[in-house]
Amino acid sequence: MASPGAARAVSRPTLFARLIKIEHSVYALPFAYAGAFLAAGGWPGAGPFLWITVAMVGARSAAMALNRLIDAGIDARNPRTAARELPAGRLGRREVAVFTAVSVALLVIAAFNLSEPCRYLWPIPLAAFVVYPYTKRFTWFCHYFLGMTLGLAPAAAWVAVTGSASTEAWLLFFAVTLWVAGFDALYAVFDLEFDRQQGLHSLPVAVGERGSIAVAALSHAGTVGLLAAVGGLAGLGWVYWAGLAVCAALLAWPHLDIARRGLREVGMSFMTVNGAVGLVYGAVVIVSAVAGG
C-alpha cells in the first residue's frame, strides 16, 4: 500500500480521473460518435459534435461518481475495491458530490445546445445513473441495466442530431446493452464469493461461473447480429463489414481464450480487448458514414 505521503502527492485531477476510470471512456464515447455520424449520414457538424462530446463527458463522469458514492460502503468491504479513492479516504464524499453536480450541469448545458427533444430527455440517463448502483442489491439483471445506461450513448447521440430515434438507433442501443452486459458478467465472476457473502445479486451468483461465461458469449453473439442489422439497414459498404468482422473476432477471442485457459488465468485482459471493440467500431462507422456507405 502507498504511504500517506505518496497519496498526498497525487494531484486532485489525477484522483478524479482514477475515480471515474477515464480510460474506460473507450466503451461508450466511440458508440456515441457512431450514432451521431450514422444519424447525420456523415459529419454531423462542429456544433453537434462538440456538444455531444460535452454531454458524454458530463454523463459518464456523473455516472461513475454516483456509482462510487452509492457503493462506497460495499467497496470498503470488498478487498478488490477497498483501495478506491472514496473508501481509501483519498477523496471525500462532499468533494465527489460537488464533482457529480458539476458533471450533471455539463450534461444539462449540452442537452440545451442539441436538438429540441434533448432539453426534455436528459433526466432519463440521469435517472439510470442513480438507479443502476442499486440494482445489484435485488436482481442479477444488473449487468443488463448497466448495458442499457451505456446503450443510451449512441441512441441519445442519434436523437441529438436528428431529433428522433430511428430503427438503427434502437438497434445500436440493444447492441451496446448486450455487449456491455456480456463483459460485465465476466467481470462479476471475480466478485462471486464476496457477492454471495454480502447478499448481492449478479449473474454469477444466479447461474455460477460457467453459466455466466455462457450467457456472456451469447450476449456478444447477439451484439454482432444487431450491429450487422445496423449495417444492412444503413446500407453501409465494405469498410463497415470488414470492421464488423474485426469486432466480431475481437469479441470472440476472449471467449475462446477463456475456454482454453480458464477465466482466472485470462484475468482482466478481456476488458482491454473489449475496449478495442469500441474504438474499432467507432472508427469504421465514421469512415463508412463520411465515405457515403
User: Per residue in 223-239, pLDDT tens?
Assistant: 999 999 999 999 999 99
* Nearest-angstrom CA–CA distance, 117 and 97: 28
- Res 174 pLDDT > 70: yes
Asked whether 146 and 132 are in contact (CB, 8 A), the reply is: yes
What is the grid cell recorded at 288? 463508412
Give the per-residue pLDDT at 4: 46
* Nearest-angstrom CA–CA distance, 39 and 41: 6
Asked whether 52 and 32 are in contact (CB, 8 A), the reply is: yes
**CA 198 centroid distance within chain:** 25
| Nearest Cα to Cα of residue 250 among 212, 281, 284 | 281
pLDDT digits (tens, 9 = 90+) for 207-224: 999 999 999 999 999 999
What is the CATH number that goes with domain 13-290?
1.10.357.140
* Nearest-angstrom CA–CA distance, 201 and 188: 10
The mean pLDDT value for 115-130 works out to 96
State the pLDDT confidence band at 293, using cuts at 50, 70 and 90: low
The mean pLDDT value for 244-263 works out to 96
Q: Locate the domains of the chain by residue range.
A: 13-290
The mean pLDDT value for 2-23 works out to 73
Contacts of 132 (CB under 8 A, 6+ apart): 63, 67, 142, 145, 146, 149
- Res 6 pLDDT > 70: no
Q: Find where cell 436538438 sits.
A: 115
The mean pLDDT value for 159-176 works out to 97
